[in-house]
């Protein structure tokens, strides 16, 4: 069995490798070659922790495994550790033997950013120039950094409930040499691409705050009850997702579906666009919305990629198991 510790991931994994892995696995999901197992998420009654597993099997990439982990809210204050903790375990699909254990913390951020980037590549207008960010936390930086590579963006605009976090976006925009401006939510009409990545439980972005032709990636809503946009926006938009079952239960579409505004069959898999079986964007004034709920197969795909890179560089730790 191979071990790739968390400390090695930053030097091994690239945004490009994460993008390729996620794009491939989304395609495999849409063609029926890969599927996710039901998600387990439990409040364990200890340290206020939320713990769970996300797993799946990709028959095309021969990747079988799970990500185990969750959220320990007291970690930082009590122990100086980050609150989100996860580890990916891979298994040999031919034998069931454990094949790898990989640090999952940085990989989670990279695979989540890769998902919105894949949606931008396949659904945003080619001439998109302004990217709008709603959210300015840990994930927002990864999201923006990856998204800026997908189009020739000339400006970043940002809004966040907690304005003191906005310098996070400024930092990434500066890195890329793109001007950054703080806006009110009404200012989002200027954006050609919008990413929302917050922990909100109420709609932030209104349906009238999005211009025709915009692509929106809703990335924060990954749990029942969370919400980032007005459900009417999902009526106005063509809706795509990583996995329809998650989109309607824990993703942004849960609200529009619960209110009877849209139905499950209104939502398409992004993998179908990648595979060419769904046309995706068909006009310049269409609004497209990607509901990125985060699936276990994304974690397995990036973990498998990092194991390959670690083996190539002679960094993977081999243990007899």
The residues that are catalytic are 67
Number of residues that bind ligand NAD (CB under 6 A): 23
Q: Is 156 in the site for ligand NAD (CB under 6 A)?
A: no
Q: Are 132 and 189 in contact (CB under 8 A)?
A: no
Minimum Å gap between C-beta 238 and ligand NAD is 19
Q: Which of 88, 82, 83, 70 is nearest to 21 (CA)?
A: 88
Per CB under 6 A, the list member of 87, 99, 119, 139 interacting with ligand NAD is 139
Q: Which of residues 93-132 bind ligand NAD (CB under 6 A)?
A: 108, 112
Q: Is 229 in the site for ligand NAD (CB under 6 A)?
A: no
Judged by CB, which is closer to ligand NAD: 133, or 262?
133
Distance of CA 111 to the CA centre of its chain: 6
Q: Is 219 in the site for ligand NAD (CB under 6 A)?
A: yes
Q: Which helix (H) or strand (E) holds 201?
A: strand 201-205
Q: Under rule CB under 6 A, which residues in 36-55 are in contact with ligand NAD?
A: none
296 binding ligand NAD? (CB under 6 A): no
DSSP string, 118-134: HHHHHHS-TT--EEEEE
**C-beta of 22 vs 30, nearer to ligand NAD:** 22
166 lines the binding site for ligand NAD (CB under 6 A):
no
3-state DSSP call for residue 218? strand
Q: HSE, CB side, 13 Å, CA atoms: give it for residue 166.
A: 17
Which among 74-82, 122-130, 156-164, 307-315 is the span making contact with ligand NAD, rule CB under 6 A? 156-164
Comparing CA positions, the residue from 199, 233, 204 lying closest to residue 216 is: 233
248 binds ligand NAD (CB under 6 A): no
Residue 11 three-state SS: helix
Cβ atoms of residues 197 and 203 within 8 Å: no
Minimum Å gap between C-beta 36 and ligand NAD is 12
Evaluate whether 117 touches 150 at the Cβ level (below 8 Å).
yes
Quickly tell me which residue has 């495994």 as its tokens: 65
Could you say which of 52, 137, 187, 206 contacts ligand NAD (CB under 6 A)?
A: 137
The interface region with ligand NAD, picked from 12-20, 55-63, 155-163, 263-271 by CB under 6 A, is: 155-163
206 is a site residue for ligand NAD (CB under 6 A): no
Cβ–Cβ under 8 Å, residues 312 and 14:
no
At residue 210's C-alpha, the angle toward residues 208 and 213, to 5°, is: 130
Tell me how far apart the alpha carbons of residues 91 and 290 are, in angstroms, rounded to a whole number.
Answer: 30
> Closest CB to ligand NAD belongs to which residue?
137
Shortest spacing between CB 228 and ligand NAD, in angstroms: 8
292 counts as binding ligand NAD under rule CB under 6 A: yes
| Interaction site with ligand NAD (CB under 6 A) | 108, 112, 135-140, 160-162, 165, 197-200, 204, 219-220, 222, 292-294
């Amino acid at each position: 069995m191979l071990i790739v510790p968390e400390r090695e991931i930053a030097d091994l994994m690239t945004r490009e490798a994460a993008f390729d892995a996620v794009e491939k696995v989304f395609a495999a999901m849409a063609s029926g070659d890969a599927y996710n197992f039901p998600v387990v998420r439990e409040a364990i009654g200890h340290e206020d922790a939320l713990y769970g597993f996300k797993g799946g099997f990709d028959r095309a990439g021969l990747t079988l495994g799970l990500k185990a982990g969750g959220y320990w809210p007291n970690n930082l204050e009590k122990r100086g550790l980050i609150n989100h903790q996860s580890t990916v375990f891979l298994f040999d699909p031919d034998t069931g033997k454990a094949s790898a254990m990989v640090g999952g913390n940085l990989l989670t951020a990279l695979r989540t950013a890769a998902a919105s980037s894949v949606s931008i590549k396949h659904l945003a207008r080619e001439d998109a120039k302004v990217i709008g960010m709603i959210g300015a936390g840990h994930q927002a930086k990864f999201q923006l950094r990856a998204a800026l590579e997908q189009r020739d963006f000339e400006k970043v605009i940002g809004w966040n409930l907690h304005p003191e976090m906005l310098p996070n976006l400024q930092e990434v925009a500066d890195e890329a040499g793109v001007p950054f401006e703080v806006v009110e939510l009404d200012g989002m009409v200027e954006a050609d691409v919008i990413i929302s990545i917050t922990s909100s439980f109420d709609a932030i972005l209104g349906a009238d705050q999005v211009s025709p032709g915009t692509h929106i990636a809703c990335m924060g809503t990954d749990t029942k009850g969370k919400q980032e946009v007005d459900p009417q926006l999902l009526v106005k938009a063509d809706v795509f997702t990583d996995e329809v079952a998650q989109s309607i239960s824990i993703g942004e579409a849960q609200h529009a579906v619960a209110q009877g505004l849209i139905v499950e069959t209104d939502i398409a898999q992004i993998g179908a666009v990648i595979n060419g079986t769904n046309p995706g964007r068909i006009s310049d004034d269409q609004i497209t919305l990607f509901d990125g709920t985060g699936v276990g197969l994304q974690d397995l795909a990036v973990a498998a990629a990092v194991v390959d890179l670690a083996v190539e560089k002679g960094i993977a730790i081999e243990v007899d198991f």
